[in-house]
Amino acid sequence: MSKAFGDNLRQLRLKKGYTQAELATLLNIDRTTLTKYERGLTEPDFLRLKLICEILNVDYNTILQK
């Protein structure tokens, strides 16, 4: 994944009206971990990515597109 993933994640999170803290709680992760995803510093494992897509109601292509 890349910085594009983090940017997409942030935009989709904001579009759905979630704060970082709210989405992190739904994902059962620390807010700082979500911040790292959004900054492109780390990336979620497949199961967490699947959960992100389910919560944000998007498919993998939408969140992974460049």
Which residue ranges form the domains of the chain, and what is each CATH number? Answer: 3-64 (1.10.260.40)
Between CA 55 and CA 66 the distance in angstroms is 21
Confidence of residue 1 (pLDDT cuts 50, 70, 90): low
Mean pLDDT, residues 41-49 taken together: 95
Between CA 13 and CA 63 the distance in angstroms is 11
Calculate what percentage of the chain has a pLDDT beyond 90: 88
**Nearest residue to 19 via CA among 35, 2, 4:** 35
Q: Indicate the pTM of the whole model.
A: 0.90
Mean pLDDT, residues 47-55 taken together: 97
pLDDT for the residue numbered 49: 96
Q: Indicate whether 11 pLDDT > 80.
A: yes
